[in-house]
Amino acid sequence: MYQTVTDEDVLEEYADHLISNYITILAIKLTNYWREFFPYSADAWMYSGLALSQKIGQEKNAEDTFKKAISLSPLEADYYLELGSFYESFEEYEESLNCYLDAASRIFNVPDIYYAIGIVYAKAASCTVLCFIPPQNDEIEIALKYNLTLTISSIQQFEHFQKKVRDYDHSIDFHLKVDTGMTRQGCTPDEAWEIAVAYRSLERIPLIMRGIYTHFSCDSNILFTQNQLNIFLNTTSKIQKLLGYFLIKHAANSGGALFIPESRLDMVRIGIVMYGAFSPIETQLLPFEQKPVMKLVSYISLIKFVAKGTAVSYHATWVAKEDTYVAIAIIGYADGFPRSASNHAFVSIRGKKYPQVGNVTMDQIVINIGMEHGISVGDEVVIFGNDLISVTDFAKWSSTISYECLTSVSERLSREED
């Protein structure tokens, strides 16, 4: 079903098709021909609640917290469910982008150029789109065409991009990524200096260094994060003196922006806090009320009697200790309900929690609803996102973190605004 889009003309044609037909999945997801251009009719779905963009503009305390920083909006790869998936039409997505812009977001960070093109096509011409993951050879021309801002993480990337961009008649902006302790993308401080020296020596500048950034690996560890910040600031200070101009500096994620004010610098990259999914400990420290913006739901397709001693689901990991009824909900590990949650998770039906029992299967789960339940076929089943079950609860039962739960919701599930 999947086919990678690499040809620029095909890519542009695909984006035009998405926009003209108002397909839910948005032009941001251009890397795949998904569902043969048609929305999937799913048996489980996700409610977005309030638009994330509106929350950042409406939360007065949040606005006060970030008033010294430019908000770098969290359209980050699959770190979080892509924003476009929340909307039923491209027009709604475009309206949301405008809300972000009105709330002082002037730079959007995305994983790669295909996500970035979605923002460009949404007519957000007044903003900069920064791509975290470097483009491949055949993608550089596309990045140039859409005036995207790239990330450079090594001297090899710098030299490669320099040679490739020379073939075109205009330059391209980039931000330099410095690895201060994450040990992922990014160059060492010494290599950052080497890149800056090489950049300064260019006679013709096909690449323009606009910014420099790093990423905190453990913002809950204040001392470790402070050390990362100090390394970063020392590096940027030297490079700015060498270049003779100021660079846009950014480092703080949600935790850094909230709890380490000096890390806000010129921009912040807030993510999980906008989804209302901070951990309980972090939530206690927040200067504003946390409200979840995502609810994952399914429905009951079947209710059946199960006698005492009857095994349920694959490998008989749960056996009824007494006569009971079970309900079958249409959602499974292919949808974002992980198998690791088997026999640990709870769901919410008609305002009451019920245990999920037996191994989670690809498309269905079994719920023990007891002998006197008052539940009917067709009833809504909340997986997470209401007062009874938070995404943090669900993550704990799944032996993971809320980030993974938010990003593991399958694209085959429909998106609706509550």
Residues placed in the known binding site: 184, 362
Burial class (CB in 10 A: 0-12, 13-18, 19+), 182: middle
CA 397 to the chain's CA centroid: 21
What are the start-end ranges of the H helices in 357-400?
391-397
Is 95 strand, coil or helix? Answer: helix
Helix axes 189-200, 155-165, angle to 10 degrees: 30
Question: Cα separation of 254 and 81, whole Å?
Answer: 16
- φ, ψ of residue 224 to 5 degrees: the values are -65, -45
CA distances in angstroms from 96 to 42, 140, 246, 275, 280, listed in the order given: 24, 28, 31, 15, 28
CB 411 within 8 A of CB 82: no
CB < 8 Å & 24+ apart, contacts of 389-392: 389/346, 389/347, 389/348, 389/353, 390/277, 390/292, 391/275, 391/277, 391/292, 391/294, 392/277, 392/279, 392/280
CA distances in angstroms from 162 to 63, 195, 356, listed in the order given: 39, 11, 55
Please name the residue that has the structure tokens 């079903």: 1
Residues placed in the known binding site for substrate: 184, 362
